[in-house]
Amino acid sequence: MAVRRGIWVVVFLLVCAVLLSAALVAFSWVAFSRPPGVPDKGVLVLKIQGDLDEISTNPFDALMHEPVTVRSITDALRAAKTDPRVTGVLLRPIDAPALWGKVQELRDALVDFRSSGKPLVAFLESAGDREYVLASAATRVVLVPPGQLNLTGLASYQVFLRGTFDMVGAKPDLLHIGDYKTAVNTFTEKGFTPAHREMTESLNHDAFEQLIGVVASARKKTVDEVRTLIDEGPMLPEAALSHGLVDDVAYFDEIGKTSGLGDRFKELPLEQYLTVMPATRAALTAPKVAVLYAVGTIVTGAGGTGATGTEVGSDKLTEYIREVRNDDSIKAAVLRIDSPGGSTVASDVIWRELMLLRARKPLVVSMSDLAASGGYYIAMPGHVIVAQPGTLTGSIGIFSGKFVVGGTYNKLGMNIESVSEGKYAEMYSGARPFTPEERVKVEEQMQAFYDQFVEKVAESRSSTPEKIDAIAQGRVWTGRQARERGLVDELGGLPRAIAIAQQRAGIGKDVAVQLVTYPPRPSVIEALSATLGGTQSMRASLGEALLSQQDRETLAAVRRPLKMLRRGEALALLPWVFVR
């Protein structure tokens, strides 16, 4: 054992040495080969490609280049708006984020930049609905001659695995509270239930209405005209031009002639601009506003990044919340949520710390793509809740249970026998379903938490449990639908939430504030420790690299409840009803 332990120590030290050497080489490369500055009359080239993180928390990202995130893109557009070295923006939406909250956040920033009077040109090679919504913010939309405008409408997809479980002899013994708490349906059903279909159709319809409303306003058409044009899609460039959905059909080298960017404009890549853009830091004496990020599935413990995606650990987030609460130099806080929920216990622990924070200083919530179920639970303490129209929120309901795999073992020729002491010692055994008495116990626990959830929502929204229960039942709403039902106060993005926090703290709207971000970017040593400790997650990530973004999301949605159904713990987790 001592020899094996010594070998592992040597291996660990060697890996550390290699990684540290790589980090030093990368740092030296950055230090001694800095990118060139902003060219005279440069045009900021903004490529939107793939799903985007809210912020970067990896210290290695900045060694080679500044990471592209939602926050860095919006900061760059805000800086370019007044930067005299930047004469315009060329938008290239190649593959927009998968969900609508981030798309709307980015579009808001593009519209704000456009108010500067500088040209904003969108160059499309092939654009779907989300890419076109981003492009519609531009003063001019250009489509490449061999391209295609895939403005075809929205569809929603749900995976059902009950048939698979039946084939292998397994049974999902899952319970839920709320007719629309459909997260369990992935495992217990072979298709849509009436409630599940109704909710999914409602979400899809509202997202589609938002889509055609944005396009109609941007292209100066009626909603009915846009609806008709979508039904004629996808369109070749000539059709898109004749119908007024694009302004020009041209190759990249031709767009400067009629776009206002200039014939020979100089490209300024976003990654380069992020390293040289004007500092937006306020004076050291300026008042501080904290921005707390809660991104990922809510779990007990430290959280981090695993095979099911990013996790919000209750231990780490509450540590940051207490730090903000006790720092008298911080005058207000904004909680930025992008989470489908998760552990009910962890959600309640975070809720408690946020309630203590709101008693000391203004707390405003900003919702990104997702702030549902446990994600909505931690939003409740906010004095004001701000969401994008396309945010998925609500899902006030819970589920629990277990997966019974005794039949699977039997099919493989295995037999499970047990001995136990205590009436409910085998309650969570995966070898058999719940007994009627055990089922009652689980249902009692779930009902108690659901009632508590509804009562807390009612208190935070100045309503009654009866009214909240009517719009709860596990139902997911878009941000726009949630605002109509009193679950959200305003529609907008992170800048609007910060402005509200600033106002509530008594800070003038024209006063520059310091934004203090949590979690802070970890040190290199912390990142190395996380990397070395995450071998299993790294293997999973390598295997999933071959999958498409949608396939990875589907896999994570299926894995998440499988991983989180611990002994007796109920989950407040969003069902997989993502609108495409």
CA atoms within 13 A on the CB side of 494: 31
What's the burial of 95, exposed, middle or buried (CB within 10 Å: 0-12/13-18/19+)? middle
Q: What is the number of H-type helices and E-type strands within the chain?
A: 23, 21
> Can you say how many angstroms the Cα of residue 546 is from the centroid of all Cα atoms in its chain?
21
Question: In this structure, are residues 219 and 244 in contact, taking their beta carbons and an 8 Å threshold?
Answer: yes
Distances (CA, A) of 191 to 186, 403, 452, 551: 8, 19, 31, 19
Catalytic residues: 373
Beta carbons within 8 Å of 485's beta carbon, 6+ residues apart: 471, 477
Please report, as a single letter, which amino acid is at residue 269.
P
Which two tokens mark 39? 């060219």
- 3-class secondary-structure state, position 413: coil
- What is the helix (H) or strand (E) element at residue 404, kind and residue range? strand 398-404
Q: What is the DSSP letter of 33?
A: S
3-class secondary structure per residue, 98-150: CCHHHHHHHHHHHHHHHCCCCCEEEEEEEECHHHHHHHCCCCEEEEEEEEEEC
Edge-to-edge strands, sheet with 86-95: 248-249, 140-149, 120-127, 86-95, 42-49, 266-269
Q: What is the DSSP letter of 336?
A: E
CA dist., res. 143 & res. 251, Å (int): 8
Neighbours of 269 (CB within 10 A): 14
Question: In this structure, are residues 159 and 196 in contact, taking their beta carbons and an 8 Å threshold?
Answer: no
CA dist., res. 577 & res. 193, Å (int): 13
Beta carbons within 8 Å of 159's beta carbon, 6+ residues apart: 186, 554, 557, 558, 576
